[in-house]
Chain A
């Protein structure tokens, strides 16, 4: 058996017996999607609140028809007090309502609320819409009574056509889920990578390993493969768990549909393979330079910021340049985005970024191998 396979096998077995490593690989994949699903769940239930809007109505005795109209639209008078931290939504109907309606003069109805309150946005909007609809209804009656077609006062009619497909709306929310999947390869193998490099040094077994008749390249390749296995294990777990967990989130209620087909998940996994190799070789590169486990952990936490900043940056800045398709990390990100939007994947870009990612990973592996030949790194001179 080639030496790198021996080392790969041993490191993998060793890491599997390390509960901390296994737990680290699994917990990210498991609790992450869970947390996101819960967040979405609350977001959706808030957006699609079907219950009545309860507001304070002043002077309802003056306009029973309006009150009836509001009730039909799910807006009713409150029978309990407003909680202290919430600004009340108050509607005041003036005394001269009936009189003004009869004489066809404008009536000032006051709607008092806090338009900046995020939570009340949809409530206020519903009240406004109901009032406007009632106003339009009366206007139409008046015009018809006077023998005028109501359409004359609607010279321009705006036809709203929402171009967002169900898939592309989903992409907005799913963007953060994608970033999460991408980062899984950085998180899940991290502990193993530290353990087999800085940990090996700390346990004083590095010198003996390097004194074996095995090239340092073979040692590094074996170690990169072992840590990558854990990274990919974490990625696979999140890829399996995310569709399962999100099937419980009522995304269809906000007009979204996300289906993770098996084919799509497979493509995602394949795209993550070179990224996992890059992630672990980068982590090994850093933690072989650290003197002990703790120091390596510190460095690697800093290192994690790079992929996080890069992918969240692209995601939220809505950055769009063609270069993104061809780079490591952003290339995989773009492929994921296309997949989830149901667009055709830029296969050339995906291929180039995969090769690019692999080349960087191989280069880093080679550099670590060279580093382990230098007495400076080995003995920390």
Chain B
């Protein structure tokens, strides 16, 4: 369970988030939907403790991410906004590295690495160095790094950007599998179809605030629109920054 409680954050004079409050439940996929610059990445960075909120709390299983970032992160799998791979290491070595950083050891470590490689179907890549990988392959490696320690919570920052249809489908399948295993998944996106296809609940963000919250159907009903895209436009009051 991830709870965001009235978080405010500003950079110098620019206010990025103001009194943001929402929660993501276990076994559900929560989509953080908003136009570019709505504060999605800032919000996620606060949840995994890389940015410090000016006020308010981000709780992961009741652990305050700002006060105990290490403890909070040990429960998190993270797919960041920018993910760079170590191009001189093989996929297996990279995944093992992050497993070790999460405190996995010896047999447990090897088992987890093998397991995640199998789950993401990247056995054919496992012993190759990641230089020259396609965007889809890189996404899978980044996901393997995030999942190697079997986190209870998964945070993804626009995971589908740059992916082709096949890779997007694979990503969705993986996220559904994780949901079935009871993982709490929070992901940000500005792509409407993806949110509609995947999310149990949607949090619509605009200008650092929650503009609306509910299931995709609820949002449509709320606005009296048939399609989520129209509902979204109505909620945030402009069609700025929406990818078709």
Contacts and interface: CB of A to CB of B under 8 A. Distances in A.
Interface of A: 1, 3, 6-7, 10, 13-14, 17-18, 200, 203-208, 210-215, 375, 378-379, 381
Given A1-B105, A205-B83, A211 B48 contact: yes
Contact of B83 (A17, A204, A210, A215): A204
Nearest to A219: B101
A311 B78 CA distance: 47
A189 B108 CA distance: 34
Contact of A213 (B51, B70, B81): B70
Contacts of B103: 213
B51 A375 contact: yes
A74 B84 CA distance: 73
A232 B15 CA distance: 48
B11 A381 contact: yes
Contacts of B200: none
B101 A213 contact: yes
A204 B84 contact: yes
Given A206-B84, A211-B50, 4 more contacts: A13-B93, A208-B84, A211-B73, A381-B11
B48 A214 contact: no
B145 interface: yes
Contacts of A205: 83-86
B129 to A, nearest CB: 8
B101 A207 contact: no
B71 to A, nearest CB: 7
A206 B87 CA distance: 14
B50 A14 contact: no
Contact of A214 (B78, B80, B101): B101
A375 B10 CA distance: 12
B85 A213 contact: no
Nearest to B98: A212
The 7 closest A-B pairs by CB, nearest first: A204-B84, A205-B84, A203-B84, A204-B82, A213-B74, A213-B73, A17-B88
A215 B97 contact: no
Specify the main secondary structure of chain B where it touches its partner: loop
A208 B102 contact: no
Interface string B127-160: 0000000000000001001000000000000000
A214 B70 CA distance: 6
B73 A208 contact: no
B100 interface: yes
Contacts of B84: 200, 203-206, 208
Nearest to A195: B88
Nearest to A200: B84
Interface string B33-55: 00000000000000011111000
A375 B49 CA distance: 10
Contacts of A212: 73, 98, 101-102
Interface in B70-128: 70-71, 73-74, 76, 78, 80-89, 93, 97-98, 100-103, 105
Given A213-B74, A381-B11, A208 B88 contact: no
A14 B105 contact: no
A17 B78 CA distance: 27
B73 A6 contact: no
A14 B83 contact: no
Contacts of A206: 84
A206 to B, nearest CB: 8
Contacts of B83: 204-205, 207-208
A208 B145 contact: yes
